[in-house]
Structure 1
Amino acid sequence: MSSSLFELVFNGSPIGNYLLTPTPEATIIAVNDAFLKASSRRREDLVGISLFEAFPGNPADADDSGEAALRRSLARVVETGQPDPLPAQRYPIQVELPGGGVAYEERFWGAVSTPIFDDDGRIVCISHTTIDMTEQVNSAAALTESERRYRALATATEDVVYRMSPDWSHMRQLEGRGFLKDIAQPRRSWLEEFIPQEDQEGVNKAVHDAIRNKTIFQLEHRVRRVDGTCGWTASRAVPMLDADGEIYEWIGAASDITERKEAEQKLKDADRRKDEFLAMLAHELRNPLAPIGAAAELLQIANLDEARVRQTSQIISRQVAHMSQLIDDLLDVSRVTRGLVSLDKTPVDIRRVLMEAVEQVAPLIHAQRHHLELHLPPGATIVTGDKNRLVQVFVNILNNAAKYTPGEGRLELGADVEASRVVVSVTDNGVGMTPDVAAHAFELFSQAKRTPDRSSGGLGIGLALVRSLVELHHGTVSCESPGDGMGSRFVVCLPRACVEPVHSEGMRSSGSSAEPATSLRIMVVDDNVDAASALAMLLEALGHEVMVEHRPTRALQRAREAAPQVCLLDIGLPEMDGYELARRLRAAPETASSLLIAVTGYGQESDRESALAAGFDHHLIKPIDPKKLYSLLAEVSV
């Protein structure tokens, strides 16, 4: 080949090339146009000088090992007489800055050093071809970094990451993060393996719609988890499209939303129970209102004898007591669930608690003609607790047993004494419970299935109150039933106290006598005209002198004139509330020592404290218990 032709081939090559002397200095003999362009150098600046002088290493760059690697490669060529390739090698090159000075620009080069021999077999020069691989290396590094970030993200997230074939026939990859099983090999049976049978049709439909429309697949469905349980997932997959717009793969992620779904279901169940409770409460409140309304109408239109009037008033009293009990239960549940109940704990004999509970439920048991068996310990068994609240616990359980057992049923109340606890059980042969009802029996608003005559199902507050009160006593309560129509058993466990019994005060007279010891001057203040009039008539029937006012300002004036010994004040009054009225009455000399009684529909402990702070002596909740009122009036000295 002629020298001119060699020069044309040498300079026309698209691959950078220069010829070096086979010496340690590696002097540049020739350089082609492709290398000049790649290195941004001129031929006259390179030819005749050492390669390592033309392209010196950066002494400030500890990672710049390009010069040393190139020297070793050239030495191997001279030593072996064989070509020596170098992979992509980091070799920053020196560049001149526009404003003067020099800097090093990071470059990566792929190179092959080939020995050129003369006719005698001696190396006359080394052909050094180079390819600037900076762009490829940077692209590969960016891809590697992107993959590393993706892996970090996939590891950090709790989502499942998966890849699917275009038609979803194969699951190509699944990384479950402990939620679903990881897979390394493609799976054809992914649908049957991961999706419950009843959800497969919905998943298939959503998949086919996404494939047909080339849109994002997204669906909430149930899924088999790695622990064998069935949970919920929110799955979303994006179609990957090629240059022709065809799907070549799906990339998706699935979140474990089991806890959220369970929480949503609990909210739905609670909302349903609330609606059932409100409907039942309305029914329960209308029941006593019907006889009260009929009795009131009867008193207006008929000329009744004394016996019939007494019978009518007894009907009204019983129904009012029933309504009051419903309201008290509701308030109790509210106070307990908000942590506003404080217990008056003392050593209590559990036998006495159970006997008082039986005494309170006895009328219902007798009315239903039930047979009640008692199995109580022979001696005193002491627990530490609030006696009234413990009685309330067992009244509720016994009341449930009596209510949900058909007439002439069998009830059993037993108490077993163990070393550290007392176990009280109430067993009946009544309507029983299904497993799902038993599992939620102590939840607020939980009710059994109701029938039109209300022979089953209740307000759903009694047993919730039982559990809360028992837990406040550091005890436990549970229930079990073989099933519908097979009876129920409730068990309460209370810690046993290691103390001697404290003998409770004997049963006192209820003080229900309507005969007052002394006639008193009483002022009733209530803006509800009917309520004030009814209370006034009751007090007058007892022989008291009663004055009625409906406005606080008029009541203050009347009090200065008449100096009442007792003032019954409503709290929700116009102009000023009952608290302010009480403060002014207490400040007036005519009523400074009068007995002030708050009469209100607000029965929280905070309401009672507010009344006492305002100067009231007592706090009564509407409707007033006549026995309590008689007792308070009997204590007034003239």
Structure 2
Amino acid sequence: MPKPYMASSLPDHQVAELHRLMSEEIKEVGVFFTDPDGVITVWNRGAEEMKGFTAQDAIGSPISILYTDEQKLQGWPAHNLGEAKKNGFYKEETWRQRKDGSLFWARIALTALRDHSGTLIGFSKVTVDLTDHKRLESCVREREETRRILRTANAGMWTWRPDTGQIEVCANFMGLLGHHDAPAVMTLAQWLGLVSPADRPQVAGKFARAQAAGPGTPLVMETRMRQKDGSCRWFYMHADWSRETDDGPDVLSGVNVDIQALKTAGEGLRQAVDKLEEADARKDEFLAMLAHELRNPLAPIRSAAELLKVARLDTAQVQRTSEIIARQVDHMTGLVDDLLDVSRVNRGLVTLEKKPLDLRHIVTDAVEQVSPLIAARRQRLSLELSVLPAWVEGDPKRLVQVVGNLLNNAAKYTPEGGQLLLKTELRGGHVLLSVTDDGIGMEPSLAARVFDLFAQAERTPDRSSGGLGLGLALVKSLVELHGGAVSCDSAGLGKGSRFTVQLALLARPGRSCEPESDDAALPVEKPLRVMIVDDNVDAAQMMALFLQASGHDVVVEHGARQALERARAESPDVFLLDIGLPDVNGNELARLLRAQPQTAHAVLIAVTGYSQERDRKTAMEAGFQHYLVKPVDPAKLVGLLAGVA
């Protein structure tokens, strides 16, 4: 038999009366009873005051009327009664619902009531309203959260009370400025003393105007605040008017956020934007120049083509016309090669084939290349080469390109009859190669960025020399790939320029660079049976005519399927295949040729406009032995076929 909940020396009827008073008359605590099914049977005044339900509303109603719809969906009433029935007691703190739908924070204690035999006869429930305590707790948490956010954001709060003239400042803000011992309450004059002297009049004026305008007008500005060490930091200030109580005076409460890093980044961003705009302008000028340079050689090529089509020319006239076309094609090829070279170098796709070499030999090859331009402009080139060998480790082809570009640049920007000087010297473990001219020179601002892409457009007074201004950018990239450095200096406009390349000197050179054999010089020992497969009819016919003139037997097809069928019947020695064929691409055609017995051992040469390294690799995997990029140098092709023969 369970023990009584309360022991008393009073008679039973007095104890019963006390229980009634406790349950019915106490207003601060809600007390009610239910039957075993959770139907309310007793409802005290405290419950009525707290929950808004009268005794008439509550008695006879299920306990679920005291729960929100969401709590009902979660099965709370049945769950709570079940826990009390199982354990004898259940308690929790949660939101409860009043009759009008409003919520209050309640601490509840639900007890299962059993008679002397242990039979469940109902439940008692005691509820205490802790809403004010909960709100106070929430305010404390929000205040702590606000402090944490302010610390994280490098910000501080302040409140100005115009009626007293005082400003209350949070310790976090004063700490940001290093004034850890500053008072938490100060006058407006003391507050303005923290502002940078340069910004103080503006800030004082803002406060005066905000006070005159009154509530509804926020105070917003950016200003510099003085730190304890005298330096200043930028802060963003935003303040709004409010009242702490309904009948209290208006106060201006604000937040100052440290934006020094943003200001610094913004200045850097502005400089970056200026540089991007400048680079964009140079890029636009470069594209206009590119269009101009590509149109120039097209005009004589088109005229020559029309002349060959409509006129009856003798052999000498045909020879001169073909020479014009060849020269202009070489010029266009040079332009495209410059573009591709710069792109490949900048993307790290150029691999150097380094070996020990004497830089004096590189100079000789470069001078030979540029001599026609220097002679055409009637300029004088002087050489002052070191007496001792200038050994460096480098790629001979790329170093010739570097020196040739520097000489070409000097010749283009030096008037006719001008002087050029190429000099090499050994100094402090380095080889120095310099190219000096007495040409148009440049301003110091251009000298500082003359190796940048597109920088050339502002420098040239006319476009008579041609070119895209990519040569110096390529020089810088190639020299740096060799571990060297290149510099430029000029005394100013009209005073010439000097470009200097510095490379590491080799102390113990190995095998020197030997001249490579020129396959184009090899004689044609016997004619070859050649099949050209290209869907560009004009290109295929011109290549066929050239190879036929060189003594080879040439056939032409414009589609892969026809070529494959004809190849089985005629078994050519060599195939010149375009990659971008319309029906079956050149790589697949190469695989088919390798697969059939009649052509399995033929020499396959790719002739294509695709110049990327991955394209070359794909072609070689398909069965090609050689890879030529359009436009193909005819002499090089003839030399290649001579080697095959």
TM-score bracket, normalised by the shorter chain, equals: 0.5 to 0.7
Given that 1:236 and 1:253 are in contact with CA atoms closer than 8 Å, whether structure 2 keeps it comes out as yes
Q: What is the letter of the counterpart of residue 295 of structure 1?
A: A
**1:587 and 2:590 matched:** no
What is the rounded CA distance, in whole Å, between the counterparts of 1:98 and 1:413 in structure 2? Answer: 101
TM-superposition CA deviations, 1:131-166 (whole Å, max 9, x none): xxx9999899779746743552244x8xx9999999
Q: What is the letter of the counterpart of residue 476 of structure 1?
A: A
What is the rounded CA distance, in whole Å, between the counterparts of 1:380 and 1:591 in structure 2? Answer: 51
Question: SS at the partner of 1:568?
Answer: strand
Which residue is equivalent to 2:293? 284
How many residues are matched?
492
TM-superposition CA deviations, 1:184-228 (whole Å, max 9, x none): 82447434999xxxxxxxxx9xx99xx999478589x99999999
Deviation for aligned residue 1:547: 1.0
Q: How does 1:498-517 map to 2 (within 5 A)?
A: 498-500=507-509, 502-506=511-515, 508=517, 511=520, 516-517=524-525
**1:533 and 2:538 matched:** no
Deviation for aligned residue 1:525: 0.4
Q: Compared with structure 1, are the counterparts of its residues 136 and 612 closer, same or farther at alpha carbon in structure 2 (3 Å cutoff)?
A: closer
Q: How does 1:370-381 map to 2 (within 5 A)?
A: 370-381=379-390
Deviation for aligned residue 1:383: 0.5
Deviation for aligned residue 1:277: 2.1
Question: SS at the partner of 1:190?
Answer: coil
Deviation for aligned residue 1:600: 0.4
Which residue is equivalent to 1:18? none
- The match for 1:323 among 309, 329, 332 is 332
Q: Compared with structure 1, are the counterparts of its residues 142 and 573 closer, same or farther at alpha carbon in structure 2 (3 Å cutoff)?
A: closer
Given that 2:519 and 2:640 are in contact with CA atoms closer than 8 Å, whether structure 1 keeps it comes out as no
Q: How does 1:333-482 map to 2 (within 5 A)?
A: 333-449=342-458, 453-454=462-463, 459-482=468-491
TM-superposition CA deviations, 1:214-262 (whole Å, max 9, x none): 478589x99999999999x9x8543422459897868455323233333
- The match for 1:190 among 198, 204, 216 is 198
**1:153 and 2:161 matched:** no
What is the rounded CA distance, in whole Å, between the counterparts of 2:480 and 2:429 in structure 1? Answer: 16
What is the rounded CA distance, in whole Å, between the counterparts of 1:352 and 1:478 in structure 2? Answer: 22
Given that 1:404 and 1:455 are in contact with CA atoms closer than 8 Å, whether structure 2 keeps it comes out as no
- The match for 2:559 among 551, 557, 564 is 551
Q: Compared with structure 1, are the counterparts of its residues 523 and 504 closer, same or farther at alpha carbon in structure 2 (3 Å cutoff)?
A: same
- The match for 2:574 among 543, 566, 580 is 566
Given that 2:160 and 2:253 are in contact with CA atoms closer than 8 Å, whether structure 1 keeps it comes out as no
Q: Compared with structure 1, are the counterparts of its residues 165 and 500 closer, same or farther at alpha carbon in structure 2 (3 Å cutoff)?
A: farther
Q: What is the letter of the counterpart of residue 442 of structure 1?
A: F
Question: SS at the partner of 2:508?
Answer: coil
Given that 1:525 and 1:569 are in contact with CA atoms closer than 8 Å, whether structure 2 keeps it comes out as yes
Q: Compared with structure 1, are the counterparts of its residues 456 and 436 closer, same or farther at alpha carbon in structure 2 (3 Å cutoff)?
A: farther
Q: Compared with structure 1, are the counterparts of its residues 552 and 164 closer, same or farther at alpha carbon in structure 2 (3 Å cutoff)?
A: farther
Deviation for aligned residue 1:313: 0.9
Q: Compared with structure 1, are the counterparts of its residues 230 and 417 closer, same or farther at alpha carbon in structure 2 (3 Å cutoff)?
A: farther
- The match for 1:598 among 582, 589, 606 is 606
Deviation for aligned residue 1:549: 0.6
- The match for 1:307 among 292, 316, 336 is 316
Question: SS at the partner of 1:373?
Answer: strand
Bigger mean CA offset, 391-400 vs 261-270: 261-270
Q: Compared with structure 1, are the counterparts of its residues 217 and 633 closer, same or farther at alpha carbon in structure 2 (3 Å cutoff)?
A: farther
Q: Compared with structure 1, are the counterparts of its residues 227 and 138 closer, same or farther at alpha carbon in structure 2 (3 Å cutoff)?
A: closer
Question: SS at the partner of 1:332?
Answer: helix
* TM-align CA RMSD: 4.6
What is the rounded CA distance, in whole Å, between the counterparts of 2:455 and 2:478 in structure 1? Answer: 17
Which residue is equivalent to 1:627? 635
Q: Compared with structure 1, are the counterparts of its residues 559 and 228 closer, same or farther at alpha carbon in structure 2 (3 Å cutoff)?
A: farther
What is the rounded CA distance, in whole Å, between the counterparts of 2:539 and 2:159 in structure 1? Answer: 74
Question: SS at the partner of 1:355?
Answer: helix
Q: Compared with structure 1, are the counterparts of its residues 444 and 451 closer, same or farther at alpha carbon in structure 2 (3 Å cutoff)?
A: closer
TM-superposition CA deviations, 1:571-626 (whole Å, max 9, x none): 00012110111111122222222221110011222222222221112111101111
Q: How does 1:111-122 map to 2 (within 5 A)?
A: none
**1:483 and 2:496 matched:** no
TM-superposition CA deviations, 1:513-555 (whole Å, max 9, x none): 8x74322221110011111111112122223221111110000
What is the rounded CA distance, in whole Å, between the counterparts of 1:636 and 1:137 in structure 2? Answer: 96
Given that 2:434 and 2:498 are in contact with CA atoms closer than 8 Å, whether structure 1 keeps it comes out as yes
Deviation for aligned residue 1:291: 1.3
Q: What is the letter of the counterpart of residue 548 of structure 1?
A: V
Given that 1:162 and 1:253 are in contact with CA atoms closer than 8 Å, whether structure 2 keeps it comes out as no
What is the rounded CA distance, in whole Å, between the counterparts of 1:303 and 1:228 in structure 2? Answer: 90
What is the rounded CA distance, in whole Å, between the counterparts of 1:270 and 1:141 in structure 2? Answer: 55
Q: Percent of pairs identical after alignment?
A: 48
Given that 2:442 and 2:494 are in contact with CA atoms closer than 8 Å, whether structure 1 keeps it comes out as yes
Q: Compared with structure 1, are the counterparts of its residues 176 and 563 closer, same or farther at alpha carbon in structure 2 (3 Å cutoff)?
A: farther
Bigger mean CA offset, 442-451 vs 277-286: 442-451
TM-superposition CA deviations, 1:56-75 (whole Å, max 9, x none): xxxxxxxxxxxxxxxxxxxx
Deviation for aligned residue 1:279: 1.6
Deviation for aligned residue 1:176: 8.0
TM-superposition CA deviations, 1:316-345 (whole Å, max 9, x none): 111111111111121111211111111111
Which residue is equivalent to 1:493? 502
Q: Compared with structure 1, are the counterparts of its residues 558 and 311 closer, same or farther at alpha carbon in structure 2 (3 Å cutoff)?
A: same
Deviation for aligned residue 1:364: 1.1
Question: SS at the partner of 1:339?
Answer: coil
Given that 1:565 and 1:594 are in contact with CA atoms closer than 8 Å, whether structure 2 keeps it comes out as yes
Q: What is the letter of the counterpart of residue 502 of structure 2?
A: C
What is the rounded CA distance, in whole Å, between the counterparts of 1:539 and 1:227 in structure 2? Answer: 84
What is the rounded CA distance, in whole Å, between the counterparts of 2:614 and 2:586 in structure 1? Answer: 15
Which residue is equivalent to 1:238? 238
What is the rounded CA distance, in whole Å, between the counterparts of 1:224 and 1:481 in structure 2? Answer: 46
